[in-house]
């Protein structure tokens, strides 16, 4: 019954593409238009205004991928995430290490695995999303510390698997995560989220709706990267990997009075609120309602269904 209610609250959103997208294919065997993902992106003209669909055929693509800000309206799709893998190995500052960096607006990713294989001991971003109106469906985002840099803009993630250990979903974005699986590989008290909201006037935050949380040991739900950090979990299953206190103030007690950390109708051993930190919120239906809709990220204006028809590419190819 809860699942049905959750589904009805979010609703089904379908907005057709205004025109069929231009179709490009990436295939390592040489049977497509390009053998590298980045070559397909580079083929899209600067200041692009046409929808472009890039189909990535199964394979392990060892490359860093960069979608520049002047190439919006790209959709990149794999056959399935298990077989379509973009991977790189790099650690360092968060602005430099992303395996897959999206700066363009109106980007959609479907059925891709994006992983940073560096391991532990440093910042290792797998996916960085720095454009507005970005959506990801059925993707796997894998790393350790700082796996998903959800930096800025309005974003939607549905049916994604996100794995890491420390602050592995972090940034200043205004994002809705629906039916995603968050898996902590922290060895102790790593935080799942580190949302950065710097003032009460900023309309940003992370909402996790009808998600699942698991872990190999224990983890916190989050800690504030900014003093007004805002994170809400609703209708989410939390395994006993979540520590009873739930949240951490990152050593700054002053943030306890300004952060907004809420929970609504969650389930599982890790969802018990009786031992939560006193500054966490157990939301009422009225308090939770604004977060339980795609309107919270203006989704009706930009989230669209997958296209059903395509047109021949006008771009020159290079293999």
One-character DSSP codes across the chain: -HHHHHHHHH-------SSPPEEEEE-TTS-SSBSSHHHHHHHSPTT--S-EEEEE-SEEEES-EEE-TT--SEEEEES-TTTEEEEE---S-TTT--SEEE-SSS-EEES-EEEE---SSS---SEEE-SSSEEEES-EEE-STT-EEE-SSEEEEES-EEEESSS-EEES-EEEEES-EEEE--SSSEEEEEE---STT---EEEEES-EEEESS-EEEE--SSTT-EEEEES-EE-TTB-TT-B--TT-GGGGGT-EEEEES-BSGGG--TTS-TTSEE--HHHHGGGSSGGGGTGGGT--PPPS--B---SPP--
pLDDT at 12 > cutoff 60: no
Is residue 167 flagged as an active site residue? yes
Rounded to an integer, what is the distance from CA 147 to the centroid of its chain?
Answer: 10
Q: What is the pTM of this model?
A: 0.92
Report residue 119 as tokens.
């391991």
pLDDT tens, 194-224? 999 999 999 999 999 999 999 999 999 999 9
pLDDT at 18: 58
For 122-179, the pLDDT digits (tens) are 999 999 999 999 999 999 999 999 999 999 999 999 999 999 999 999 999 999 999 9
- Strands 169-171 and 140-142 turn out to be unpaired
**pLDDT, the chain, mean:** 92
Tens of pLDDT along 218-256? 999 999 999 999 999 999 999 999 999 999 999 999 999
Give me the mean pLDDT over the 33-40 stretch.
98
Pull the structure tokens for residue 148: 């998903």
Per mean pLDDT, which of 8-17, 229-238, 302-311 is the most reliable? Answer: 229-238
Q: How is residue 112 written in tokens?
A: 């891709």
- 24-47 average pLDDT score: 97
Burial of residue 315, with CB atoms counted within 10 A of its CB: 0-12 exposed, 13-18 middle, 19 or more buried: middle
Q: Which of these is catalytic: 146, 150, 165, 167?
A: 167
Please tell me the CATH code under which domain 57-64+81-301 is placed: 2.160.20.10
Per-residue pLDDT tens over the stretch 38-77: 999 999 999 999 999 999 999 999 999 999 999 999 999 9
């Amino acid at each position: 019954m809860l699942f049905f209610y959750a589904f009805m609250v979010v609703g089904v959103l379908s907005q057709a593409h205004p025109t069929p997208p231009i179709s490009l294919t990436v295939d390592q065997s040489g049977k497509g238009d390009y053998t590298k993902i980045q070559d397909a992106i580079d083929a899209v003209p600067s200041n692009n205004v046409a929808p472009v669909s890039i189909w990535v055929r199964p394979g392990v693509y060892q490359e860093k991928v960069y979608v520049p800000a002047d190439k919006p309206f790209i959709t990149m799709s794999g056959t399935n995430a298990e077989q379509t893998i973009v991977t790189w190995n790099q650690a360092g500052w968060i602005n430099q290490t992303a395996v897959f960096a999206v700066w363009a607006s109106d980007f959609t990713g479907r059925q891709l695995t994006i992983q940073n294989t560096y391991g532990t001991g440093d910042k290792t971003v797998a996916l960085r999303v720095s454009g507005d109106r970005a959506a990801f469906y059925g993707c796997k985002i894998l790393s350790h510390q700082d796996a998903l840099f959800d930096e800025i803009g309005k974003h939607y993630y549905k049916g994604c698997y996100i794995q890491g250990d420390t602050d592995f979903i972090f940034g200043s974005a205004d994002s809705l995560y629906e039916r995603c699986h968050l898996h902590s590989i922290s060895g102790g008290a790593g935080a799942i989220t580190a949302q950065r909201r710097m003032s009460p006037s900023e309309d940003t935050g992370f909402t996790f709706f009808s998600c699942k949380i698991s872990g190999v040991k224990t983890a916190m739900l989050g800690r504030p990267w900014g003093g007004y950090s805002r994170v809400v979990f609703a209708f989410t299953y939390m395994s006993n990997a979540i520590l009873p206190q739930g949240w951490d103030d990152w050593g700054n007690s002053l943030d306890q009075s300004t952060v907004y950390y809420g929970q609504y109708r969650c389930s599982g051993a890790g969802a018990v609120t009786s031992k939560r930190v006193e500054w966490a919120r157990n939301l009422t239906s009225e308090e939770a309602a604004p977060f339980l809709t795609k309107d919270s990220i203006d989704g009706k204006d930009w989230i669209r269904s997958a296209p059903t028809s395509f047109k021949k590419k006008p771009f020159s190819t290079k293999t």
